[in-house]
Amino acid sequence: AQTVTQSQPEMSVQEAETVTLSCTYDTSESDYYLFWYKQPPSRQMILVIRQEAYKQQNATENRFSVNFQKAAKSFSLKISDSQLGDAAMYFCAYRSLFLGESNYQLIWGAGTKLIIKP
């Protein structure tokens, strides 16, 4: 079974600085998706970025980028130029590309609370 681990319960960063959130996972599959989701105080889950495992190039979305190390099973999120609106819980998630019994369900990490200091 796949697992996702986020070892940082909480991180803080000064506004306008850069912060990196860590995520590791375990799987025996070769093709899969990895995601970072943001959950602000409103509790609406928002997709930040996703990475297909078969793509070597790291995904980027504006100020958000990932460092995907497939062999190390590591998937960190870098937030550049941190803004007050980035304050939220961030969840790393894994999804298989194979239907099987999973129904494409997401496997979630425990989350990291990101605090932005003004």
What are the residues binding another protein (CB under 8 A)?
35, 42-45, 47, 50, 91, 97-99, 103-106, 108-111, 113
User: Please, which residue, 56 or 71, has the CB nearer to another protein?
Assistant: 56
42 φ, ψ (degrees, to nearest 5): -65, -20
User: Please, which residue, 12 or 105, has the CB nearer to another protein?
Assistant: 105
Q: Which of 37, 32, 38 is nearest to 51 (CA)?
A: 32
CB 56 → another protein: shortest distance, Å?
Answer: 18
Residue 59 identity: A
CB 20 → another protein: shortest distance, Å?
Answer: 20
